[in-house]
Amino acid sequence: MSGTVYSAADILSGGELLTALTPPARLSVVGDPVAHSKSPVFHNAALQAAGIAARYVKIHVRPAELPATLRALPAAGFLGTNVTIPHKAGALATVDEADDYARKSGAVNTVMVDAGHLVGFNTDGPGLLRAIREEFAADLRDLRVMILGAGGGAGRAIAVQCAMENCPRLVLVNRTAEKVTALASELAPFFHRGPADRIVAIPHDVQSLRKELARIDLVINATSVGMKETDDPLVPASLLTPNLLVYDTVYASGTSRLVADAAAAGARAANGLSMLLHQGALSFEIWFQRPAPLDIMRAALLSVS
Q: Tell me the catalytic residues.
A: 88
Longest dimension (CA), the chain: 59
Q: Which amino acid is at 212?
A: E
In angstroms, rounded to a whole number, what is the distance separating the alpha carbons of residues 294 and 300?
10
In angstroms, rounded to a whole number, what is the distance separating the alpha carbons of residues 229 and 218?
23
Residue 46: φ, ψ to 5°: -65, -45
Strand ranges for the chain from DSSP E: 5-7, 25-31, 55-60, 80-83, 97-98, 110-114, 117-121, 144-148, 169-174, 199-203, 218-221, 245-248, 268-270
**Helix, strand or coil for residue 283?**
helix
Sequence-ordered list of residues with C-beta below 8 angstroms from that of 276, at least 6 positions apart, any chain: 38, 39, 127, 251, 301
3-state SS record for 11-55 = HHCCCHHHHCCCCCEEEEEEECCCCCCCHHHHHHHHHHHCCCCCE
